Amino acid sequence: MFSKFIVRNYNIVKNSESFKFYITGVGVGLMWANTGLENIGRPPLYCQPGKLALNVDNILQILDDYIDRKKDQLKPDLPVEMLLLYALKETFPCKK
What tens digit of pLDDT does each residue of 34-62 get?
Answer: 999 999 999 999 999 988 888 999 999 99
Q: Into how many domains does the chain fold?
A: 1
Residue 96 falls inside a structural domain: no
User: Rounded distance, CA 58 to CA 79, Å?
Assistant: 19
The phi, psi pair for 10, rounded to 5°, reads: -55, -50
DSSP state of 6: B
Percent of the chain with pLDDT over 90: 86
Q: Is residue 18 part of a domain?
A: yes
Is position 31 within any domain? yes
Query: Among residues 31, 41, 32, 40, which one has the least CA distance to residue 92?
Result: 31
Which pTM does this prediction carry? Answer: 0.90
Does any domain span residue 58?
yes
- pLDDT above 60 for 24: yes
Domain, as residue range, for 59:
7-91
Contacts of 10 (CB under 8 A, 6+ apart): 67, 80
In this predicted structure, what is the pLDDT of residue 3?
A: 63
DSSP states of 47-89:
---TTPPP-HHHHHHHHHHHHHHHTTT--TT-BHHHHHHHHHH
Residue 44 lies in a domain: yes
